[in-house]
Structure 1
Amino acid sequence: ENLGKNFVEVISLSKFNRDNIDGYVRCDGQKIIDRLIQQGKGGIVLSAHFGNWELLAHYFAIKGYKVNVIARRVRMEYFENFLDGIRKKHGVNILYRDALAKDVVKLLKNNEFVGIMPDQDMDSVSGVFVDFFARPAYTPNGPALLNLLTGVPVIPGFIVRNGLGHEIVIEEPLKFSSTGDRDRDVLENTQICANVIEGYIRRFPEQWVWFHERWKTRP
């Protein structure tokens, strides 16, 4: 049901602008993002394929923020071209998963935001096994690695479907482990990210993409 609503909303994204977006989306925590920008830090936004995640990026782009999202290509070329047109109109920059790490780091150092959704089993990208719903799950470790490389904070950012509208929740930066042991820190901090995502799914289970084979890769 959530995916069906997402599809209808996504094909209508072009109608949104600064004058009408607030009538459809409420944002809690935007001051956190503004504070990070003022501090010159930018941010790594931890999110998931949850709620209408496409709308989450468009909301901030419409508001004038520099928004970049790491994503994989849509299998349907026609739909991807359609999406790309709307993304360009609103200013959402998509970084496909084959993007160079140095390009992502450059964006972060330029005080921009990069959204990452490490809630799917993607064995083609760097990851580690962490507990997810009490089962070992291969999880992309991008947020933890980028934080280690740049010192840029990781902030949870989720969009929750709420009746006829949506609520965006931006949280304070996560408190990551920093022991000096690179592998240990990446593992522990990826577990922290997984715990955050699991928490949202437990609260709103109907808004996550359960059909994805989340545990297909085995330890």
Structure 2
Amino acid sequence: MSQQQAYIPSKFQWSFLLPKYWGIWIGITLLMLLAILPWGIQWRLAHGLANLAWKYLKSRRKTTIRNLEVCFPEWSPEEVEKQAKRVFIDMMLGIFETLNAWYCPQWFKHRCTIEGLEHITNAQKQGQGVLLLGTHSTLLDAGGYLCAQYFEPDVVYRPQNNPLLDMLIYRCRATIYKHQIDHDDMRGLIRKLKDGDAIWYSPDQDFGLKQGVMAPFFGVPAATVTAHRRLLKISKAAAVPLYFYRHGDVRDPKYHVLIEAAVENMPSEDEVDDATRVNQIIEKQLRIAPTQYMWFHRRFKTRPEGYEEIY
């Protein structure tokens, strides 16, 4: 495909008006209406949807329970199930929080605090880009919006298969992020880091061993991506841990953005040691608010010969 014909995520196409896209237009309209509802109603809807998801998304439910059993062996079976249900609630709350960030951002006014912003500004003052090591939080783009109140974040994203949905999400995120970088655009990602941007990057999913190494995650060997090592080495960027979470009364929630000091000697000469250190950072973050993480992903799906099956 030529450059002139290349798909631009934010560009409207007249084909989006065809009947095959009408369902998406209706769905987006309903979501916009949900975004203007009072939080109390959103909270109740989230709980109702979570109950339905818990009942009917059996595979996700089993994966969530298994992940929590493996990562929190100190929890009793009853506690595991309780926290697993909480994961589903937090996921649904996160959807409403993201809708609020997209369509009703004033809802977050006076609800957010930040700690450690100097770790980003100091790196940028020294001419460095910042690779923000975070997680796949159930807050979704609401977390990005929280960060955007204090600095200009970029985000790495995976394009949607449906071009209309991709355009709509891209445009919503454009109100939050300075730049959106396709996960396959490594040159673009490196260029932004060299330009001094702060980019939210989540190295916390299992993409197999072609893109990573086995390293302990909550004490269990897990396939851990190592792409961030190459990004950091080429761009000379600082690796800065980032975490955001909801706290306080869930009926009147508050949000906190936590930024920690840059990871020293990252990357090192040992990719397993680097992967282990990143996993330890993520573990520490997740223990703050354990259920605000996407535990329904199969974090331990890669099991080389000699490793016990998890699922």
> Where on the TM-score scale, by shorter chain, does this alignment land: which range?
0.7 to 0.9
Structure number having the greater helix percentage: 2
The higher-RCO structure (CA 8 Å, 6+ apart) is 1
Moved over 6 A (4+): none
Matched-pair contact (CA < 8 Å) for 1:51–1:159? no
2:218 to 115, 125, 133: 133
Mapping of 1:52-131 within 5 angstroms? 52-63=139-150, 65=152, 67-74=153-160, 80-99=166-185, 101-123=186-208, 126-131=211-216
1:8 to 82, 96, 116: 96
Deviation at 1:92, TM superposition (A): 4.0
Matched-pair contact (CA < 8 Å) for 1:53–1:159? no
Secondary structure of 2:215's match?
Answer: strand
Q: In structure 2, what is the equivalent of residue 176 of structure 1?
A: 265
TM-score (norm 2): 0.62
Matched-pair contact (CA < 8 Å) for 1:44–1:152? yes
Deviation at 1:132, TM superposition (A): 0.7
Deviation at 1:94, TM superposition (A): 2.2
Deviation at 1:189, TM superposition (A): 1.1
Query: Is the alpha carbon distance of 1:216 and 1:75 closer, same or farther for their aligned partners in structure 2, counting shifts above 3 Å?
Result: farther
Which stretches in structure 1 are left out of the alignment for 5+ residues? none
Matches of 2:168 and 2:110 in 1, distance apart? Answer: 24
Mapping of 1:23-38 within 5 angstroms? 23-38=110-125
Deviation at 1:198, TM superposition (A): 1.2
Bigger Rg, which one:
2
Query: Is the alpha carbon distance of 1:172 and 1:160 closer, same or farther for their aligned partners in structure 2, counting shifts above 3 Å?
Result: same
Deviation at 1:44, TM superposition (A): 0.5
Which stretches in structure 2 are left out of the alignment for 5+ residues? 1-88, 305-311
Q: CA offsets per residue over residues 136-192 of structure 1, 9 Å max, x none?
A: 11111122222222221100000011120210000000123666x4xx2x2211211
Q: In structure 2, what is the equivalent of residue 50 of structure 1?
A: 137
Is 1:146 the counterpart of 2:234? The answer is no
Matched-pair contact (CA < 8 Å) for 2:206–2:300? yes
Give identity over the alignment, percent.
21
TM-score (norm 1): 0.85
